[in-house]
């Protein structure tokens, strides 16, 4: 095609959407609220207090305030400050033997970690495998470097993880492209709220180990919501340790939710491998990607978050701050489950986390019906995403009533 002399954009960049669909819905809700309407905006993924203000952690603010500006003004090492990375590794492994087999690099949040992983574990043109419900930015985080996403059916007829579909899709993908990168977001999956149980982690790992006989298979755990896991949450670490000789595993770690510090853009990509030499190569490859994209990350944020993780007093204060926020969210989850049961809403197991997805015959009809009642949520394929993180507890009855009415309305006009 002959380039248009007036338009310097390459064809791939020519028709990019100007706004994220969730931020567009959030904008609609905000405009109506500013015009004086009583709006319930459950679109965004940030935890708010029951008075609607952003929930923050005083311990983290203290660490940010106490950070030497002179130190923070300097460039951070490209792969991240070693003491920050060591603290993150301890946070993920809690002394588990896996810790001796990992390396890490700093990234701008979990988003940067996922981008970094995709560029190093997939060839251009290849796809990562994830569940049919997934965090929409995976499309951009893979597509930007000419990779992509393909999916397995997330839920079977029994409402649990569809392991049959996972296994079939994984084998098909390896047959097609010779390797696989599997992205799994648990606990507190966005957008469904689902957390894998022990049996599901065991089965997922067994399936991956078997598939590794057919080609290189890497597991990427998106750990963004780890700190909001339901009590007694299943532990993936022993399962990963068991398959590590066959399935290298990487973890996308994020400070955004764990420290209620979304704007600091602090994260890390942690890679586990049995072999020291390959581990070094992975560290170099991931550091190279850091250099070629964001160079180095927010030094101020990494120093402060590192201090919270390393300093006993700050760590104890952070534990307390976090416990309060988990309790705030859990109370909403309990209330939602109680009211949703009364209205016979159909949704996956939901024991904790920022979101829940409720099935709908026509999500567009459901969200429109709810918007007419002043309630904003996000449409998905065959479901709608409700942000309990952004819904004060006192507003959950209104939310569930509007939801039930919207789902009922969708039954009259099922999506074709
Ligand atoms: C599933 C999932 N993964 C990763 C992230 C990354 O967040 P951040 O880049 O702020 O760490 C988010 C944020 O909303 C998310 O929902």
Of ligand 1's atoms, which has the minimum distance to the CA of residue 185? 1
Confidence bin at 1 (pLDDT 50/70/90)? low
pLDDT digits (tens, 9 = 90+) for 2-30: 788 889 999 899 988 877 889 899 999 99
> What are the boundaries of each domain within the chain?
17-57+322-412, 77-310
Ligand 1 geometric centre to CA of 342 (Å)? 32
Ligand 1 geometric centre to CA of 219 (Å)? 17
- 254 in contact with ligand 1, CB cutoff 6 A: yes
Integer CA distances (angstroms), 47 to 44, 225, 259, 316, in order: 9, 12, 11, 21
Question: How does pLDDT run across 148-196, given as a tens digit for each residue?
Answer: 999 999 999 999 999 999 999 999 999 999 999 999 999 999 999 999 9
Distance 93 CA to ligand 1 centre (A): 20
Instruction: Work out the burial of residue 31: count CB atoms within 10 Å of its CB; fewer than 13 is exposed, 13-18 middle, 19 or more buried.
Output: exposed
Fold of 17-57+322-412: 3.90.1150
Cβ atoms of residues 367 and 334 within 8 Å: no
The residue whose C-alpha atom lies closest to atom 3 belonging to ligand 1 is: 224
Residue 184's pLDDT is 98
CB 262 within 8 A of CB 111: no
Phi/psi region, residue 8 (left: phi>0; alpha: psi -120 to 50; beta: rest), is alpha
Residue of 43, 107, 128, 254 to mutate, ligand 1, most atoms within 8 A of C-beta = 254
Q: Of 402, 409, 365, which is closest to residue 386 (Cα–Cα)? A: 402
pLDDT mean over 405-409? 97
| 192 Cβ below 6 A of ligand 1 | no
In this structure, the residue with its CA closest to atom 7 of ligand 1 is: 110
Measure 408 CA to ligand 1 centroid, in angstroms. Answer: 31
Q: For residue 20, what pLDDT is reported?
A: 82
- 77-310 — its CATH code? 3.40.640.10
CA atoms within 13 A on the CB side of 7: 10
Q: Say which residue, 218 or 235, is predicted with more confidence.
A: 218
Closest CA to 387 of 17, 29, 18, 112: 29
Q: Is the CB of 186 under 6 A from ligand 1?
A: no
3-state secondary structure of 25: helix
Q: Is 194 in the pocket of ligand 1 (CB under 6 A)?
A: no
Give the tens place of pLDDT for each residue, 362-395.
999 999 999 999 999 999 999 999 999 999 999 9
Cβ neighbour number for residue 397 with a 10 Å cutoff = 13
DSSP H or E run through 400: helix 396-412
Residue 56 has pLDDT above 70, yes or no: yes
Ligand 1 atom index nearest CA of 222? 3
Distance CA 335, CA 400 (A): 10
Separation CA 386–CA 400 (nearest Å): 10
Share of the chain above pLDDT 70, in %: 100
Q: Name the band, by pLDDT with cuts 50, 70 and 90, for residue 233.
A: confident
pLDDT tens digits, one per residue of 107-159: 999 999 999 999 999 999 999 999 999 999 999 999 999 999 999 999 999 99
Q: How far is the CA of 261 from the centre of ligand 1 (A)?
A: 12
What integer pLDDT is reported at residue 234 of this predicted model? 87
List residues bridging with 184 in a β-sheet.
Answer: 221
């Amino acid at each position: 095609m002959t380039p248009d002399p007036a338009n310097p954009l390459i064809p791939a960049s020519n028709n990019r959407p100007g706004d994220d669909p969730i931020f567009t819905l959030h904008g609609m809700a905000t405009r109506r609220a500013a015009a004086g309407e009583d709006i319930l905006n459950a679109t965004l993924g940030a935890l708010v207090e029951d008075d609607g203000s952003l929930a923050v952690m005083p311990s983290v603010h203290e660490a940010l305030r106490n950070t030497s500006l002179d130190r923070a003004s300097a460039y951070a090492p490209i792969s991240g400050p070693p003491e920050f990375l060591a603290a993150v590794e301890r946070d993920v492994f809690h002394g588990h033997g896996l810790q001796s087999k990992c390396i890490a690099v700093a990234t701008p949040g979990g988003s940067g970690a996922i981008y970094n992983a995709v560029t190093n574990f997939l060839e251009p043109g290849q796809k990562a495998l994830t569940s049919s419900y997934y965090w929409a930015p995976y499309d951009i985080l893979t597509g930007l470097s000419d990779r992509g996403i393909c999916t397995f059916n997330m839920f079977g007829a029994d409402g649990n993880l569809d392991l049959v579909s996972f296994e079939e899709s994984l084998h098909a993908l390896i047959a097609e492209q010779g390797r696989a990168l599997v992205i799994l977001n648990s606990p507190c999956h966005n957008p469904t709220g689902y957390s894998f149980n022990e049996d599901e982690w065991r089965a997922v790992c067994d399936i991956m180990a078997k598939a590794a006989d057919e080609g290189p298979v890497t597991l990427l755990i998106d750990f963004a919501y780890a700190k909001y896991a339901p009590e007694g949450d299943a532990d993936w670490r022993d399962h990963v340790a068991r398959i590590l000789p066959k399935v290298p595993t990487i973890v996308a770690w994020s400070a955004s939710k764990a420290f209620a510090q979304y704007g600091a853009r602090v994260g890390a990509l942690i890679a586990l491998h049995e072999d020291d030499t390959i581990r070094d190569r992975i560290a170099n490859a991931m550091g190279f990607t850091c250099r070629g994209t964001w160079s180095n990350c927010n030094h101020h944020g990494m120093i402060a978050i590192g201090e919270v993780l390393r300093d006993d007093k700050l760590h104890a204060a952070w534990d307390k701050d976090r416990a309060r926020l988990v309790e705030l969210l859990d109370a909403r989850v309990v209330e939602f489950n109680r009211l949703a049961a009364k209205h016979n809403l159909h949704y996956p197991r939901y024991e904790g986390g920022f979101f829940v997805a409720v099935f709908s015959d026509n999500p567009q009809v459901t969200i429109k019906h709810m918007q007419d009642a002043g309630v904003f949520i996000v449409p998905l394929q065959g479901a709608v995403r409700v942000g309990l993180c952004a819904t004060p507890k006192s507003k959950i009855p209104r939310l569930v009533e509007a939801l039930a009415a919207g789902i009922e309305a969708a039954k009259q006009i099922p999506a074709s």
